Amino acid sequence: MINITFPDGSVRQFEQGVSGLDIARSLSNSLAREVLSVNVNDELWDLNRPIQEDASIKLNKFEDPDGKHAFWHSSAHLMAEAIESLYPGTKFGIGPAIENGFYYDVDPGDEVVITDGDLSKIEKKMKDLASQKQEYSRKEVSKEEAMQFFGDKGDEYKTELISELEDGTISFYHQGNFTDLCRGPHLADTSPIKAIKLLSVAGAYWRGDEKRKQLTRIYGVSFPKAKMLEEHLELLEQAKLRDHRKLGKELELFTFSQRVGPGLPLWLPKGAQLRERLENFLKKVQRDTGYEPVITPHIGQKELWVTSGHYAKYGKDSFQPISTPQEGEEFLLKPMNCPAHCEIYKSKPRSYKELPVRLAEFGTVYRYEQSGELHGLTRVRGFTQDDAHIFCRPDQLKEEFLKVIDIILYIFKTLDFTDFSTQVSLRDPEDKEKYIGSDENWEKAEQAIIEAVEAKGMENVVVEYGEAAFYGPKLDFMVKDALGRKWQLGTIQVDYNLPERFELEYIGSDNQKHQPVMIHRAPFGSMERFVAVLIEHTAGKFPLWLTPDQAVILPISEKFHDYAEKVSKFLKNCDIRTLIDERSEKIGKKIRDSELKRIPYLLIIGEKEQENGTVSVRRQGEGDRGEMKLEEFAEFLQSEVENQLKAIETNI
């Protein structure tokens, strides 16, 4: 017998060789039907893999990330099996589970093209195969055997992958007539896969290398219940309606011009005003918390980036240097603001008494991204960071780090991102060459972040190895939007390396020279990314204090245009952002259009309103508020804004 420990700490005895599925069955039949994978001593295992010694286990259902992962990964294998049976001779790249489903990169041969029109056929085949309750079975194979199998099959993608693996670590998974190179884990069999939807077909270069062959990537999603699939598809539909690229255009916030260049956003007046208000909000928070504004240029001499280490790390894959015609100097577009801020720190001698120095800048940076990777405002080539650098003494590091966490949490709360998680990104201990700086500095910096997170008692924290920036570890904030999607926004990074490279100093109380520690932080990440997320989160219905147009005046006919002008003038004098819809459309259409433009207040004026010196007020999405005198409406709106701003002013 062996001892099995459950997550609640209870221990039960089972026969040696018992599987996760056997254990689930012994607990209840309904659990056995729902369980998808098992963690054995924190390692993810197949449900049917025998457990040979004492272990602690956790049974994963679909709700658990590890359960979902096994489910979607198994669905990818199922899709591959379906494709192989419909398109014999297809070769397979990789087929992972992803955040919302799975994909497989396939090469059906040069003669065959798989398009969106073929997806329902593949889907149907998958459902047939799933209902056959095919078992997923694991087999350890030698490297030679593995090469032999896929060599005989003529699948050069798999043999390339196998050639990079170490003998003794290779396993195959097999279901029905399909065999895949795979580490697993998988479901016990195909029967839980009840609802399947293949979503789209895209091109994807083998191993992400544009010089290699383009494979066909098929995306899909699957669920154990039809109702879950329906809900998911509904969510995708809603996400489409909230797509910031679509709303950005409809609400006239930003645009792109091929002539200006891909990935370089152009902020339209309404978008620029919205962004300015966000910046002002942040500037106020920063003023209140001891930051000082600075401004630095968009380019810097190549030497600057050689000193910072950016050139060695990114030089080749970056925008190339700009040269001056006469002197032969070389400049780079700035990919980061930090080096210039280091030079500002250095512009005068610093004493321990004046630390921390907190320098803030809305700094526009330029980073090269492949044109195929660009996406609306979330993946761009030029963007403005809400950046700041804190230079402090080592003994101030933890406190400063905690203060930055407070600012970020406050900003998220103000803008209604109440659901968030954090990721502590550390160095990959196996591959230290990727990073600059000494081991000792890295360890100190990593420790400071871990301690700060612990001191805050933060929940939903994950630690990821190998995700650190090349110069230091970081803490990233992921917010969940109204549809439950995760976005990465704010980031805080500790850095002992740039101060060393730039030879930053302060005179300590001992009259000796010391090196400050640097914190990089950007609560929004970038203005572009933040506005994109805000659009998708609010579906374009921004809070009243932030929204570009607060009220639209809708005269019911041309006769009332003069009065409309008068109302507009009055409201503008009260600092209310107003516009007039003077089109000769029916009032019903004007109302509908204004609602599509997400304008919070609609002010309808006709004969009666003109006579009474009033407006008839409608609140977007809430209906009539009745007739109001102009002063009355102005006060009404202002007090709503004031209440919002007051809530924002809560102390951090």
- Give the interface with Zn ion as residue ranges (CB under 5 A): 182, 338, 520
Residue 515 annotated to the active site = no
Integer Cα distance of 42 and 55 in angstroms: 10
What are the DSSP E strand ranges found in 165-298?
171-175, 178-181, 195-205, 214-223, 254-255, 266-267, 292-293
Looking at 69, 182, 197, 338, which residue is catalytic? Answer: 338
Residue 276 beta carbon to Zn ion: minimum distance, rounded to whole angstroms: 23
Residue 182 beta carbon to Zn ion: minimum distance, rounded to whole angstroms: 3
Nearer Cβ to Zn ion (361/536): 361
Nearer Cβ to Zn ion (275/521): 521
Residue 396 beta carbon to Zn ion: minimum distance, rounded to whole angstroms: 18
> Token pair 């100190």 is at which residue?
444
Identify which of 219, 185, 188 has the alpha carbon closest to the alpha carbon of residue 201: 219
Is the C-alpha dihedral spanning 442, 448, 454, 459 positive or negative?
Answer: negative
Q: How many CB atoms sit inside 10 A of residue 470's CB?
A: 15
Show contacts of 258-266: CB within 8 Å, 24+ apart.
261/381, 262/371, 262/374, 262/381, 263/369, 263/371, 263/374, 263/379, 263/380, 263/381, 263/382, 264/380, 264/381, 264/382, 265/377, 265/380, 265/382, 265/383, 265/528
Which burial class, exposed, middle or buried, applies to 69 when counting CB atoms under 10 A from its CB (0-12, 13-18, 19+)? buried
Residue 363 beta carbon to Zn ion: minimum distance, rounded to whole angstroms: 9
Residue 367 annotated to the active site = yes
What are the DSSP E strand ranges found in 308-356?
322-323, 330-333
Nearer Cβ to Zn ion (217/244): 217
Residue 387 annotated to the active site = yes
Nearer Cβ to Zn ion (38/182): 182
Q: What is the CA angle 92-65-488, rounded to 5?
A: 90
Residue 95 beta carbon to Zn ion: minimum distance, rounded to whole angstroms: 6
Residue 152 beta carbon to Zn ion: minimum distance, rounded to whole angstroms: 20
Integer Cα distance of 336 and 387 in angstroms: 9
Nearer Cβ to Zn ion (78/591): 78
Looking at 520, 521, 529, 598, which residue is catalytic? Answer: 520
Which burial class, exposed, middle or buried, applies to 262 when counting CB atoms under 10 A from its CB (0-12, 13-18, 19+)? middle
Strand order across the 43-45 sheet: 11-14, 2-5, 55-60, 37-40, 43-45
Nearer Cβ to Zn ion (49/270): 49
Nearer Cβ to Zn ion (183/572): 183
Cα–Cα distances (Å) from 572 to 239, 414, 552, 630, in that order, read 35, 26, 12, 12
Please name the residue ranges forming H helices in 60-203: 65-86, 119-131, 143-153, 156-163
Residue 338 annotated to the active site = yes
CA atoms within 13 A on the CB side of 573: 8
Residue 273 beta carbon to Zn ion: minimum distance, rounded to whole angstroms: 28
Nearer Cβ to Zn ion (366/542): 366
How many residues are given for the chain?
A: 652
Nearer Cβ to Zn ion (136/256): 136
Looking at 389, 529, 537, 597, which residue is catalytic? Answer: 389
Q: How many CB atoms sit inside 10 A of residue 64's CB?
A: 16
Looking at 91, 334, 474, 590, which residue is catalytic? Answer: 474
Identify which of 73, 230, 202 has the alpha carbon closest to the alpha carbon of residue 138: 73
User: Under a CB-based contact definition with an 8 Å cutoff, are residues 242 and 255 in contact?
Assistant: no
Looking at 118, 387, 476, 495, which residue is catalytic? Answer: 387
Residue 520 annotated to the active site = yes
Residue 94 beta carbon to Zn ion: minimum distance, rounded to whole angstroms: 8
Residue 514 annotated to the active site = no
User: Under a CB-based contact definition with an 8 Å cutoff, are residues 46 and 184 in contact?
Assistant: yes
CA atoms within 13 A on the CB side of 221: 16
Which residues is 359 bridged to in the sheet?
292, 389
Residue 452 beta carbon to Zn ion: minimum distance, rounded to whole angstroms: 18
Residue type at 503 in one-letter notation: E
DSSP 8-state class, residue 351: B
Residue 327 beta carbon to Zn ion: minimum distance, rounded to whole angstroms: 29
Show contacts of 2-6: CB within 8 Å, 24+ apart.
2/51, 2/52, 2/53, 2/54, 2/55, 3/54, 4/51, 4/54, 4/55, 4/56, 4/57, 5/54, 5/55, 5/56, 5/57, 6/56, 6/57, 6/58
Residue 474 annotated to the active site = yes
Residue 367 beta carbon to Zn ion: minimum distance, rounded to whole angstroms: 13
Nearer Cβ to Zn ion (247/338): 338
Residue 27, phi-psi category: left (phi > 0), alpha (psi -120 to 50), beta (remainder): alpha
Nearer Cβ to Zn ion (242/521): 521
Residue 259 beta carbon to Zn ion: minimum distance, rounded to whole angstroms: 32
What are the DSSP E strand ranges found in 443-589?
461-465, 474-480, 486-495, 506-507, 513-514, 517-522, 551-555, 578-580
Nearer Cβ to Zn ion (521/537): 521
Residue numbers annotated as active site: 338, 367, 385, 387, 389, 474, 520
